[in-house]
Structures are given as C-alpha cells and as structure tokens.
Structure 1
Amino acid sequence: MLHNGIGRTRHSEDKTSILQHKAQEHPAMAASANAAANVTAGNGEPEARRDHVIVFPFMAKGHTLPLLHFATALSVHHKSLRVTMVTTPANLAFARGSLPESVHLVELPFPSLPPLPAGVESTDALPCMSLYPTFLRATALLREPFAEFMASLPSPPLVLVSDFFLGFTHGVASDAGVRRVVFHGMSCFSMAICKSLVVSPPAAVEHVGGGGAPFHVSRMPEHVTITPEEIPPTVANFSDPDNPIARFMIENVESTDVRSWGVLVNSFAAVDGDYVASFESFYQPGARAWMVGPLFLAAGDTPERDEENDPEGCLPWLDERAAWPGSVVYVSFGTQAHVADEQLDELARGLVQSGRPFLWAVRSNTWSPPVDVGPDQGRIVRGWVPQRGVLAHEAVGGFVSHCGWNSVMESLAAGKPVLAWPMMAEQALNAKHVVDVIGAGIKVNYAVGSGAVVGRAEVEEKVRRVMDAGREEGRRMRRQAAWAQQAARSAVSDGGTSRVALQKLLGDLLESC
C-alpha cells in the first residue's frame, strides 16, 4: 500500500482543488495531483486528456538510464506531454539528478523481502549476485502500490512504458485501459535471437560453452548464424525448472512481454533495421518495435565537465594526452560484471605489455595490480567514470568493453572501435553484432560463463590490433565506427529515422485512444 508519505511526487505544479482535497485524504493522490496538469472543461471539472506518459524502469543502471533519456527526450521534443517517472526511495536521487524538472517523479515503497538487505533497491547495490533472484521477486511485489498509483490518476494516461522485467505492469495497465509499451534495453538483433532460441531451442543449446559449429537461427535472415557459446546463459537454461531466473522469466515476464502493444528499442535503423521484422514476429499481430535511439542522443544529453560528474579526474587526465589523438585505450566492463582477481591480473599485465596508455575503470575495491603502473602507462580508477565524455575524447582510440548494449551505443555514437569482451547476459550477441555485422571491432577468445582466463599475451595482441590505426584492419574498424557514428547522429536529427519513429509512436498511440 502507499502510505506514510511514500507515493508523492518531488515536483510541484498547479493542481485542481479536487485533487488537492483527495491528496490530503490519501497519500497516493499526491502523486496524481502533481502529475496531472490543470486542465478543465467548460463546467470547471477536470477533463480527461490522453497526454500523460508513465515510465517505469527496472532498478538496474543499464535499464534505468535509457528510460531516463527517453523521458527527457519526450519532455524536450514533445512539450505538450506530461511525463511521470516511477521510482523507489533509494533510486530517487539518481533519477532526479538525471531528469529535467518538467519530468515528474513518483516514489513507490520498495518491498521488504529477506534476505535482501533493507535499502538495496538497485542491482548494482547487491552485496552478491546470488541475491539477484530474490531481488527479482521483490520487484514483482511492487504490483500493489503501482496499481494503487494508477487507480489514483484522474484519467487514463496515454501509455505506460515499462521494463520487460516488470511483467506485472502489463496487467495493471490493461486493467486501467492503458496501452503498454515494453522496454528491453537490447537490440532487435539480440532480442530476436533470444526469442527464437526460447521458442525453438536447437540441439546446440545443450552444448553451450563447449564449442560447436555455427548454426542458423530460425526467423532470422539467412546470413545470421551463431555458435553455441554465443547463446546467452539465461536462454540456455530457460527450460531448467531448478534455475530461479528462468522460473521468474516464465512466471512473470514472457507471457506479458509478447502481449505488449509495442516495444521501445534503444537502437537505430542503420545498424538494426534488418532484424525488426524477425523480432516483431514474436509479438501479437500489429505490435511494432519502435527504434528511437540512441536515446542519450535523442535527449540531447551532453556530459558536463565538472568534478561532481568526474570525481576521478578522468577527463583532465585525458586532456594531458590530447596531443596524441587516439593513443589511449579505455577499459570498462560495466557495473554488474564480476571479474576474478586472476583475470584482472592478466588484463593488467597485458595492458602494460601492449605499450598503449590506458584508462581502466575497475569495480573491485580489494584488487591491486600485480605490476607497477606508472602515470605515463595508465590510470586505474575505482569510482564513477563519465563514460560518454571519455569515449568522445580525442585522446581515446579504442574501447575494451563487455558489450552491454548501452556501452555499444555509446561507443558507436563516439565513433570508437571496440575490443569486445562479453561477460554475461546477451553480451556475446552484442559483440557479434559489433564485430561481424557492423564491423567496428574485434573480439577476445572467451566464452561467457566458461570461467576461462584470457591470458596476458592475447590481451596484448588484441589491444595492439584494435588501437593500430595504421594497418588495414584498424582502418577498416575505424571506417565502420565512423559510419555508425554519423548514422547515429542522423537518426536522432530532424527527419531522422529515430526522431520520426518516436513521432509515429506517439501519433499511433493517440489515434488508438
């Protein structure tokens, strides 16, 4: 239930007297009072208008950030819309700091579900990933307060945009007579492959991580083949009744996902358009995948250069190397991947042996490099890194990345080639997309979930290859990365494919209402 002041918005605007009175009677109504515009009919009563967009992200930074950018893009380019972001207490400050004041925030209480520690409301705050299944179950308990919030609104919103992990939101939206658009945080390429493997699992699924010949994925274009080691672990384990994540997906996600009115995709047509039809084929008739990305470009989000956004001083350090454009390799594996100390040791040695200066974001607070890293050799940072600003910096020439889709979008938008090192989830498919389809990178010899260690010799060799702009391989990667950069910018500009897709999405929603 919404009580004790939770469920209020953190942004004030004019309210009708009716909503003010109800907000005093019930805290949930405070959310509606702030989220509803002061629109009245001729008789002075509130007039129902379908101009309100509700956005509900999953509590993981990689899932939340794109929807923060989506909410911002709506607020910037479609000022007639009212946009409300649903969040929880521990995520409120992060959301507020990333949104314009015109986007309203509604705060729902995060459920208590032992052994999940109190106050842990985002996957990056989990003390260990063994609690991830418990975290997923806790998010499903948000159904009741979310339903109460939706029921408190004075009129149905235009649409609910919610993460696919939040499957309960589909039923709540349906009960309220509201269309639901689902968000995955993945490309059409990866999503279509995952859907196909779940619906029609090939025999190769049984040999995940053990090598094997490439095979064609059903419903995908004929040129798309993958190997067993590229199958995401969750997909490979989907039929395992003892796998808690697979059980959660089956019980809470899959059936609601495919019944969504449409899918919001943080991608753009030039790199992902060939796979839209394959992906849409898994949804109900008429459902569309709307490619509106890269969403951070659509939002016009330019990282600010200040100490608060760059506490480690990454950009000033890069400024000192600006005289040597493209000389620095940036290394980051995101906020969730766990990298064993043995692998960190080999990576450190390989980076030093490559002879290339490096900026490396390390998430471990206990690991120490086994070799001396001088100030001219590299910089290891432990805190927040302004990644888009780093990738855009002229001193950076390549990106050693886990290939989370957000990082892929950021590297392509910056025009930087990638040394793909997938760690989890669908990242091996994203790596294939970047390396084999777009041609903007190369890949380490590593199978997700294998537990293998990539040795220093391979690290040294692959870093040198991705950073060498003088050889034909390096020139080819940079040509493709530059092409993707131009295509990304064009997509979100006036008349671009992503800008038009967003306008068409809103127009179709208004027409369907």
Structure 2
Amino acid sequence: MTITAELIMIPIPAIGHLPPVIEFSKRLISQTNRLSVTIVLIRTPYAPEIESFSDSLAASCDPDRIKFIRVSGPNIPPLESIKSAHTFFPQFLDSQKNAVREALLADRAKQSGSSVSTVVVGVVADILTTAVVEEVGRELEAPTYLFFPSCGAVLSMLLSFPAEFQPAVAAGDPDGEIFFPGFASHVPHRMLPATILEEEGYAALNEHVGRFREVKGILLNSYEELEAHAVESLVGNSLLPPVFCVGPVLDLKGQGKLGRTSSSIEKIMTWLDDQPRDSVVFMCFGSVGSFSDAQLKEIAIGLELAEDRRFLWVMRESPPKEGFGMPKDYIAYSESALAGRLGEGFLERTEGRGMVCGWVPQAAVLAHEAVGGFVSHCGWNSTLESLWHGVPVLAWPMYGEQQMNAFYLVTELGLAVEMRADYRMEEGKVVKGEEVARKMELLMDGEGEVRRKVKEMSKAARRAVVEGGSSFDAYGGFVDLVMKNKPID
C-alpha cells in the first residue's frame, strides 16, 4: 500500500476567506510533492451566493492533488438567535462541528480498502474555525495549524491584548490609545475592530485567539519585506508557535465568480481599454461593504467636483436592515434605477468619463494599465492585490479589522492616502463630496511619495514569491515542520 501525507484545510465560508486558502493550497502542492490537500467547504444558507463562488474556485484546482468535501450540517442556528454580527460566524461554525467531523471520518473510511492511503499530517484552521479544527485534530490525532488571512500587525494585536483591557472602557474613550508589539506607534481605540469594543464579541474572539497559541505553526498571508517590524515581533516571540510568512497569496486570475455574466465583465474591461494609462480611479468596497443613500449622493458629488477624473465605481445595494444578508448587485445600473441614490442626472453628466457597475473581477481591474488609484475598504486581500499591481490606495474602511489595516497602511507603512481611517459602515456617518474630491486628487498625484512607495513594494512582493524569495522559502520550512510533527514513515 502506498501511503501519502494529507493536509486538511477548514476555512470560513466567506468570500474574503476562501480565495487565499485555496490559492495557498495550490501554491503548496506546486512547490512540494510530499503533500495533498483536502479543503472542507461548509455550506451556509444565509448567503447562498457563496456556494457558487466556492464551486467556481474549486473548479480551478487539480483534482488529483486538491480534494473538496462539502458539508451542510443540521442544527443551523435560526437568524433570530444570533445576537450580533460579531458573533454570527462563531455561532454558526460551532453548529457545524459535528457535521465536519463526521464528513471527514466518512472520507477516511472510504480509503480503508484502497491501494493508496493518506495519513492526515495536519489540520489547518482559519481565524474563526479554530474550535472545529481542534476537535477534528483530536479525532484524527493530527497536529493543528493556523492560516491567518490578515496582516502580521493585526495578528500581533490579537495575541497581545493586556489582561486589564475592558471593551466598554475603550469604546467610551475613542481617543485613548493602546500599544501592541506589532505596531511602531500606539493605536487609538477608535481604530480597534468593532467586535473588540463589545463585551460579547471580545469574549467570543478571545476564545479563538487562545487557541492560536496552541497550534504547531502559523501561516501568515503577508511577506517580510512589507511588515518587517510586525513580523519581527511575532517571529522573535518564543511564547508563540513558529510563524511562516507565505504571502502575498492572491487569486490573481479572478477564478472566483460572483453573480456577473461574462458579457458585462467584457463591457467593463473594454471601457478600461479605451482610457489613458493611470487615469481611472477604481472604487470598490468589498463583498460586504455598502453605503447609505446619503453617502452615495456625496460620493457622486465628489466625483462631479473632480471633473477631470475618470472612475469605475462598484456600487452594491445594501441588505435589509433587519437580520443578516449580503449586499447584492442592483437590478439595473441606469439613470432611472439610480437617480434617487446618486442624484438626478449624475450618470448622464458623467457619461464617457465614468462607469457605475456591480461586481467585477477586482484583480483583473487592478492589473489594467488604465487604473491609477484604488478607493478601497482596506480588506487585506484587496490591500495585497493593490500592492502587487502597484496601485496606491485611498483608505476608506468599512467593517472587521479594516480600520486597523487603514491606520497601519497610512500611519506606519506610508502606503495609502487616508479618507477616514476610523470610518465604520454601521455608524452611518457621511463624508462630504468636497472631501471625497480632495482626497481623490491626493490619491492620483503621479509624483506623490505614496505612489513611489507602492511601486517599490510591488517589486518586493514579486521577489518574495519566486524561488529564493522569503515567502517561497517559507513554504519549504512549513512542509518540513509538518512532516516532522507527524511523520508518515
């Protein structure tokens, strides 16, 4: 019987989390023949579009080296039982633990009569699947690891909260500051993720973070050249597991598809083809980001004030305020459909120099030579994509850890222009059109320091992932650790 080594990945079923996990798996098997990968896709009824999105990603993988197990367990918590958005995924994933465990055990049982048998040498968690992975690892007698999809500075933050930290106190003192080893300067409380400023959310997150310290190794979607200070604070900490910088891990081919036809994408790319080099401001705010009608109108005003600027604006409709849901594309991006949100005649007055649309293949847009600036929510995937393609960012965070990312990019790394680093989608504050126009001009400054630094970091990112680069070498180090911790011979 031939025995091979298998690594199991259990990501969060979310649009921002699936692509880096799957791309990491592809890169891992391309650099070693010592491992195969099984990825567990947990189905969620709350966002059915994620199912087709994950299937489109899975279709791009080599089925002989990367296997997918789809899980849809019973006992899904009803929406009314979920008290806040910050505890949604912990509650949902906790309800799926048994289903994941049983699906993996059933898969193991199938192999009992086969001529080729795999030994599970590790189970890899995403940031919020640690409880599931802990249980599966114990059942399969396999070491556990963590794939951390955000930056090293945020990982350092999560691992170093002082014991005396009180969410309510920090929430009531937004201008107060806190120090984390991964940051060179103190961080204002108002930049902390919203979940950390709520007692229940902070407690739920701490449960997962406590498990981070128990894993045998941490995979960080970043690169040493980008985060020298933060990485040093992690690698130099003997109380933490080994940390491997394996980024940037990106879906550069845009293989995840989300609700747009090929004809509409072709129309967008053809429009970009007709624009001058570095002339277009690309505006996109993530799979969950959306604005109030009042803010949409101010953005439209800003775009009209910046009358020399071309723009491609990805605008999505907010979900209902009651319950949970994802933003979705508008039925039509036309004057009649959007006049109430953008102001009468906006699309007519900006025709030729701008386009308003729904979901786009973001990496392909950022790679286009016409794009000269990116107004972004500062999700880490988007940040890495912008740096890879050398496109400077105007930081307009929305949710999650994005305020921390924005603060980090602007204040510490000098790789972004700030719109409002402490902006939170749920607070409903409105940035005026005049400020939008002014900040866009700063973003598009062709001789600016931010643009120069971003171009340099683009080169560093590409060096990191090729043979001999820091991230390339980290893959080998991780594989060696995995095989050492659970040898198959």
Q: TM-score range by the shorter chain?
A: 0.7 to 0.9
Partner of 1:296, secondary structure, is: coil
- Structure 1 window deviating more from structure 2 (422-431 vs 436-445): it is 436-445
Residue type matched to 1:257 in 2? F
Q: Which residue of 2 aligns with 1:25?
A: none
Residue type matched to 1:496 in 2? G
* Aligned residues of 1:209 and 1:228 also touching (Cα < 8 A): no
Correspondence 1:65 to 2:19: yes
Aligned mates of 1:167, 1:305 — CA distance in 2: 25
Q: Which residue of 2 aligns with 1:407?
A: 382
Report % sequence identity: 27
Partner of 2:243, secondary structure, is: strand
Q: Which residue of 2 aligns with 1:459?
A: 436
CA apart distance, 1:279: 3.6
Correspondence 1:82 to 2:36: yes
Q: Which residue of 2 aligns with 1:95?
A: 57
CA apart distance, 1:98: 4.0
Correspondence 1:186 to 2:141: no
CA apart distance, 1:231: 1.6
Correspondence 1:104 to 2:67: yes
Correspondence 1:268 to 2:223: yes
Return 5+ residue gaps in structure 1 as ranges. Answer: 1-39, 41-46, 118-127
Residue type matched to 1:332 in 2? C
Correspondence 1:53 to 2:20: no
Measured against aligned partners, the alpha-carbon deviations of 1:32-65 in whole angstroms (never above 9, x if no partner) come to: xxxxxxxx1xxxxxx544x211111101111111
* Aligned residues of 1:352 and 1:377 also touching (Cα < 8 A): no
- Structure 1 window deviating more from structure 2 (405-414 vs 83-92): it is 83-92
Q: Which residue of 2 aligns with 1:120?
A: none
Q: What is the number of residues matched between the two proteins?
A: 437
Q: Which residue of 2 aligns with 1:360?
A: 313
Cα distance change, pair 68–209 in 1 and its aligned pair in 2 (3 A):
farther
Aligned mates of 2:235, 2:164 — CA distance in 1: 16
Measured against aligned partners, the alpha-carbon deviations of 1:323-377 in whole angstroms (never above 9, x if no partner) come to: x211100001101123211111111111221121100111113753215123223
* Aligned residues of 1:54 and 1:83 also touching (Cα < 8 A): yes
After the TM superposition, which residues 167-246 of structure 1 pair with which residues of structure 2 at under 5 Å, given as runs? Answer: 167-168=130-131, 169-197=133-161, 199=163, 201=165, 206-208=169-171, 211-212=174-175, 215=177, 217-220=179-182, 223-237=184-198, 240=199, 243=200, 245-246=201-202
After the TM superposition, which residues 283-302 of structure 1 pair with which residues of structure 2 at under 5 Å, given as runs? Answer: 285=239, 287-296=241-250, 301-302=252-253
Aligned mates of 2:92, 2:166 — CA distance in 1: 33
Cα distance change, pair 224–469 in 1 and its aligned pair in 2 (3 A):
same
Partner of 1:158, secondary structure, is: strand
Aligned mates of 1:280, 1:199 — CA distance in 2: 22
Aligned mates of 2:419, 2:402 — CA distance in 1: 13
Partner of 1:348, secondary structure, is: helix
Residue type matched to 1:230 in 2? M
Aligned mates of 2:125, 2:97 — CA distance in 1: 12
Cα distance change, pair 421–314 in 1 and its aligned pair in 2 (3 A):
same
Aligned mates of 1:333, 1:210 — CA distance in 2: 28
* Aligned residues of 1:232 and 1:425 also touching (Cα < 8 A): yes
Aligned mates of 1:248, 1:207 — CA distance in 2: 17
- TM-score norm. by structure 2 comes to 0.82
* Aligned residues of 1:116 and 1:135 also touching (Cα < 8 A): no
Question: What's the Cα RMSD here?
Answer: 2.8
Aligned mates of 2:419, 2:92 — CA distance in 1: 36
Residue type matched to 2:273 in 1? D
Cα distance change, pair 271–131 in 1 and its aligned pair in 2 (3 A):
closer
Q: Which has the higher contact order (CA 8 A, sep 6+)?
A: 2
Q: Which residue of 2 aligns with 1:164?
A: 127
Measured against aligned partners, the alpha-carbon deviations of 1:457-488 in whole angstroms (never above 9, x if no partner) come to: 11010001111214xxx2x1111011110010
Aligned mates of 2:85, 2:457 — CA distance in 1: 38
* Aligned residues of 1:209 and 1:447 also touching (Cα < 8 A): no
CA apart distance, 1:134: 4.4
* Aligned residues of 1:420 and 1:443 also touching (Cα < 8 A): yes
* Aligned residues of 2:406 and 2:421 also touching (Cα < 8 A): no
* Aligned residues of 2:284 and 2:377 also touching (Cα < 8 A): yes
* Aligned residues of 2:466 and 2:472 also touching (Cα < 8 A): yes
After the TM superposition, which residues 347-426 of structure 1 pair with which residues of structure 2 at under 5 Å, given as runs? Answer: 347-355=299-307, 356-364=309-317, 365=330, 368-370=341-343, 371-373=345-347, 374-382=350-358, 384-426=359-401
- Structure 1 window deviating more from structure 2 (83-92 vs 159-168): it is 83-92
Cα distance change, pair 319–304 in 1 and its aligned pair in 2 (3 A):
farther
Return 5+ residue gaps in structure 2 as ranges. Answer: 112-117, 318-329, 331-336
CA apart distance, 1:508: 1.5
Partner of 1:229, secondary structure, is: helix
Aligned mates of 2:196, 2:97 — CA distance in 1: 26
Q: Which residue of 1 aligns with 2:462?
A: 489
Instruction: Select which of 468, 472, 475 maps to 2:445.
Output: 468
CA apart distance, 1:186: 0.9
Instruction: Select which of 346, 352, 376 maps to 2:298.
Output: 346
Correspondence 1:249 to 2:249: no
* Aligned residues of 2:9 and 2:125 also touching (Cα < 8 A): yes
* Aligned residues of 1:108 and 1:145 also touching (Cα < 8 A): yes
Measured against aligned partners, the alpha-carbon deviations of 1:78-118 in whole angstroms (never above 9, x if no partner) come to: 2442111111356252332343333211111243425349x
Aligned mates of 1:217, 1:511 — CA distance in 2: 36
CA apart distance, 1:183: 2.0
* Aligned residues of 1:309 and 1:386 also touching (Cα < 8 A): no
